[in-house]
Amino acid sequence: MRKIILIYILLVTYLSAMSLWEVYEQSSPANGYDRYIILESGEVYTGGIGSSEESIYIEGNGAVIDLQGGTGIWISGDSQATGSLAIDRCTIFGGGSYGITISGYSTNSIINCNLINDNFGIQISDSVNVTIKNCIFDENQYGVAIVGDQTTHSITYCNAFVNEYDYMLNCLV
C-alpha cells in the first residue's frame, strides 16, 4: 500500500510541481517569523531551502515536498545569527542526504509531518532545541539521527516504519 501511495505522489509531482525555493523567495515576514511560508493543500513543491540567519515557518496544509534527491530543508545558526525552523503538516520525501537538518544554535519545531525515503529523515546536531511531535518516519536510513550530546530534544507521539535505524542518539555519521 505504501508503494502505491509513493508512486501516486511521484506521478502528481511531475504533473504539477512548484519550486519550494520560489515560494520561499516570495514569502514575507509574519507572526514573528522572518519568512512565513504557506503551502497549498494538494500541491507538490520541489527542491529544498535553507538558512543560517532567518526564522522560517512553513505552514504545510497537507502539501507534499519532493526534495528530488537534493539536500533537503536545513537551518544552521551560530551564536550571533540564530536561524530557526517551525514546520507543520506536510510530507517531505526523496532527500538525497536528509529531509530536514537542524544544526548550530536554534529553537525549532517539526509537527505533524511525514518524512519518507530520505537518507536521514531528521538530523539534529550541535546546540539546538527541537520539538518533534506526531511525525511519521518511513523508509529512511535513519528516522531521527541525533549527532552529539548538546541538543535538547523532545520526540513525542511519532511512529517509525521500515527505517534501517528508527531513532539514533549520538550516532556517528
pLDDT value of position 71: 86
Beta bridge partners of 139: none
User: Is 61 or 149 the better-scoring residue by pLDDT?
Assistant: 61
Burial 112-128 (b: 16+ CB within 10 A, else e): ebbbbbbbbbbbbbbbb
Q: How confident is the model at residue 173 (pLDDT cuts 50, 70, 90)?
A: low
pLDDT value of position 54: 92
Sign of CA dihedral 114, 9, 100, 167: positive
What's the rounded Cα separation, in Å, for the pair 99 and 143?
A: 10
Q: How confident is the model at residue 171 (pLDDT cuts 50, 70, 90)?
A: low
DSSP 26-72: H-EEETTEEEEEEPPTT-EEES--EESS-EEEEEEEEEEEE-TTS--
| 28-59 residue pLDDT tens | 999 999 999 999 999 999 999 999 889 999 99
CA gyration radius, the chain? 15
User: Is 39 or 7 the better-scoring residue by pLDDT?
Assistant: 39
Q: Which CATH code fits 2-169?
A: 2.160.20
Residue 2 has pLDDT above 70, yes or no: no
pLDDT value of position 93: 96
Domain ranges of the chain: 2-169
Over residues 151-156, mean pLDDT: 92
